[in-house]
Amino acid sequence: MSIKLPIDIHAVKGFLAATEGEALYHLAAEACALGACLEVGSYCGKSTIYLAAACKPVDGIVFAVDHHRGSEEHQPGEEYHDPELFDDRMQLMDSFHVFRRNIRTAQLEDWVVPVVAPSAIAARRWNTPLGLVFIDGGHSLEAAVTDYRCWARHIVPGGYLAIHDIFPDPADGGQAPYDIYKLALASGEFELVEMVDTLGVLRRIG
């Protein structure tokens, strides 16, 4: 089913395929009834817009967790470095100003709560039940496992865990998201619902 978004999503920087974004939209529309939605790794807001646009009609909330200093692959000299997101004064990556602009342009500010902090710090005192957790943060094994361990436990029964960039074949991409996907299945707490391109959607059992 095609969806209408409040912004030209193709103009928003990001690495989410349209099919994956639309799957997130429909997932968030369902998950809003169970609890808040939360994403780890917002970058410039592409996934946030899909999620928040789905939450808006039912007055749901998306917590967008990102330190906005870029993952390993976004740093100068790395494969996905974007000079437009580099703060020359601070000599650091800074995607937050572009993120805020995109959320404002999409008129979704009332349905997005930016949490500008590393994942582990944001989770330290977390106690809000979540209907959906979308993990698309750092792709090192340490970062991915941290995101999974910090946030999966807050998903309510029947809620969803979505993981981006799952590549079973190492020749196609990094393995950290695939590793936490396997961890979730091996835990016995999650079951696979569907795969949409590289997006794995799992449901919490019980």
**Which residues does 131 contact at the CB level (< 8 Å), separation at least 6?**
31, 32, 33, 34, 35, 36, 37, 155, 156, 159, 160
Among candidate residues 67, 68, 74, 139, the one labeled active-site is 139
**Is 139 a known active-site residue?**
yes
The DSSP 8-state label assigned to residue 163 in this structure reads E
The total domain count for the chain is: 1
pTM check: above 0.85:
yes
Local confidence band at 73 (pLDDT 50, 70, 90 cut-offs): confident
The range of the structural domain enclosing residue 70 comes to: 9-204
Distances (CA, A) of 93 to 67, 98, 202: 10, 11, 32
Residue type, 50: Y
- Residue 1 placed within a domain: no
- Residue 135 placed within a domain: yes
- Residue 3 placed within a domain: no
Burial of 59 (0-12, 13-18, 19+ CB in 10 A): exposed
Average pLDDT over residues 134-139: 96
pLDDT reported for residue 1 = 54
- Residue 4 placed within a domain: no
- Residue 2 placed within a domain: no
* Domain harbouring 69, CATH code: 3.40.50.150
